[in-house]
Amino acid sequence: MKFKLIALFNLFVFTIGFSQNFYDRATVQKIEIFFGFTNWDAQLDAANSTDVYVVADSVRINGVVFDSVGVKYKGNSSYNANNNKNPLNISLDYIKGSQDYQGYRSIKLQNGYQDPSMIREVLSYAILEQYMDCPKGNFANVYINGTLRGVYSNAESINEKFDGDHYYNSAGSLFKCSPINGAGPGATIFSDLKFIDSDSSSYFDGYELKTDFGWNKLVDLIQTLNNDFDNIESKLDIDRAIWMLAFNNVLVNLDSYNGAFRQNYYLSWDNNNRFVPTVWDLNMSFAGFPGGTGSGPYTATSLDPFSNSTSSNHPLIVKIMANPMYKRMYMAHLRTIVKEVFESQDYVTKANALRTTINSYVQADPFKFFTYTQFQNSLTTSIAGGGPGGTSIPGIKTLMDARVTFFNSNSNYILVAPTISAYAASNNSPAYGSSIYLTATCSNETNVYLGYRLDHTFKFNRVQMFDDGNHGDGAAGDHVYGAEVTLNGVVLEYYFYAENANAGLFSPQRAEHEYHTLPITIPYVANGDVLINEVLASNGGVAYDSNNESDDWVELYNTK
């Protein structure tokens, strides 16, 4: 009699028309807030510096009504008590914990401060989602007590739902990496990942813990980054950190870790027991932030790809740029963004689609920070902003066309990378438990690596590939590299990385966010097989049997 352990995999089917509708970029949501008092603005101002929400009688989202909803103003530089239009944080479950709209309980609305285009945040997320997990974003038209307040950008909240959806751990530690009292001119506390000491209380003002525990993990990450960098991959998803830094640099997104205030990102503890960074707050991308890099004067169009690589205030950048492989990976990711998004002009297509979607809403917005004419001209015209010194906000297309020209003349950017002209598996229909060789055909390479995993929720393992004739790679020295993988999973997800002394290249170029896949054949269940149907290995009162006992148990099922 045969016994087989059959892995049962739940297939979660996400209906696009429902679960993603609230963040559909082709639509503008309608959000109506109803307070039972007229001094709602004064109450929101008074609560702004506290953790207290002002309770609205109801909030209506696209016609769906929610009772007793928490509302707050949010933001640092984008908030001002004199504004007619401040950014909003809406908590549907503040009073009634079961309330959500399409699964979302927290709604973050940005007011368009420092952004005459009104699309910086949404466009930036539309670009970033191609390279790493990030919030979804679109627009919402907001009314308070029946009066139109204007069109806002609507970005998905980074919380336990986001972490569960993307990092497969909705119960893990989560830090918002922005100083508790805000960052700005004269500030001395930042979310810079600098090591202070081993006392977690030393970090309380620089990071905001959004969950019940996690300070020791954060201190461990910071200590490893600064003092034990060889082990950083056990504490941090280094690939996503590299993507984040490359993205911030290309888009001149300096209200970020890359800039003077070293903030506006989250750290989430994933199912692989490491932190994963997530970019946040992109309303001042495309050089909309007046604070600069923190390392002296700079010109937005020619911001160097290695900006702050020697800054003692930016240890994450310093450490990555000091590691030759990570530095080449960083430049590979940076080149991918520049070529795919900006050289191709794909971002202009995206920008124009967003502008068309919100055009009439911007025109009707009674409290927008810029005129409708400035909105119309915002892709190609610099417009005076409201930041320190009256800095101007560049036209998005004008800025990025100049960035492309700069990169294509930059000595580090134009270094010649290897090519990966072909790849193959020794068996395209492999069985579970078997071993196969994966090969990559390269040129101008010195070293080639394979990244692979056998479950979508696992982290990638990176191993060196060989051109020695002993790894399924054909003849030695033919520029075909091979590596063996044992298939103890249901699907193989993998990528290649090739480098020489100067530059690197990924295949696919969006790795690790995108990857090649190879299905693995699972043995079928034959009539008469006995299956392990259910297992409860540590009951502890979870389930009781007919004798009112909660023993551990295994349930067998005879298929005959």
Average pLDDT over residues 493-508: 99
Domain assignments of the chain as residue spans, ordered by start: 162-343, 419-519
Token duo for residue 446? 């010195």
Pairing mode of beta strands 208-209, 3-4: unpaired
pLDDT score at 534: 72
Model confidence pLDDT, tens digit, residues 174-220 = 999 999 988 878 899 999 999 999 999 999 999 999 999 999 999 99
The span from the CA of 137 to the CA of 156, in Å, is 6
CATH superfamily for 419-519 is Immunoglobulins (2.60.40.10)
Q: Does pLDDT of 168 surpass 60?
A: yes
**Beta carbons within 8 Å of 138's beta carbon, 6+ residues apart:** 22, 23, 24, 25, 27, 28, 29, 122, 153, 154
How far apart, in Å, are the Cα atoms of 318 and each of 225, 282, 308? 10, 23, 7
Model confidence pLDDT, tens digit, residues 219-258 = 999 999 999 999 999 999 999 999 999 999 999 999 999 9
**pLDDT tier, 529 (very low <50, low <70, confident <90, very high otherwise):** confident
Q: Does pLDDT of 8 surpass 70?
A: no
pLDDT score at 19: 41
How far apart, in Å, are the Cα atoms of 328 and each of 93, 212, 238, 422, 508? 45, 38, 13, 21, 16
Q: Say what percent of the chain tops pLDDT 90.
A: 84
Q: Does pLDDT of 542 surpass 80?
A: no
Q: For the stretch 521-554, what's the b/e string if a residue is b when 16 or more beta carbons lie within 10 angstroms of its beta carbon? A: eeeeeeeebebeeeeeeeeeeeeeeeeeeeeeee
Model confidence pLDDT, tens digit, residues 23-50 = 999 999 999 999 999 999 999 999 998 9
Q: Does pLDDT of 531 surpass 80?
A: no
pLDDT score at 291: 85
Q: Does pLDDT of 13 surpass 60?
A: no
Q: Say what percent of the chain tops pLDDT 70.
A: 91
pLDDT score at 222: 99
Q: Does pLDDT of 10 surpass 70?
A: no
Q: Does pLDDT of 346 surpass 80?
A: yes
Mean per-residue pLDDT over the chain, rounded: 93
Instruction: Output the CA angle 384-343-154, nearest 5 degrees.
Output: 55
pLDDT score at 552: 79
Token duo for residue 331? 């430049």
Q: Does pLDDT of 465 surpass 70?
A: yes
**pLDDT tier, 544 (very low <50, low <70, confident <90, very high otherwise):** low
Sheet holding 435-443, edge to edge: 419-425, 435-443, 480-486
DSSP state of 341: I
pLDDT score at 76: 85
Model confidence pLDDT, tens digit, residues 311-345 = 999 999 999 999 999 999 999 999 999 999 999 99
Total-model pTM: 0.91
Per DSSP, helices labelled H in 338-440 are 346-364, 372-376, 396-407
Instruction: Output the CA angle 526-530-534, nearest 5 degrees.
Output: 120
The span from the CA of 188 to the CA of 181, in Å, is 11
Average pLDDT over residues 429-441: 98
Please list the residues that pair with 498 across neighbouring strands. Answer: 448, 505
Token duo for residue 435? 């071993």
Average pLDDT over residues 106-129: 98
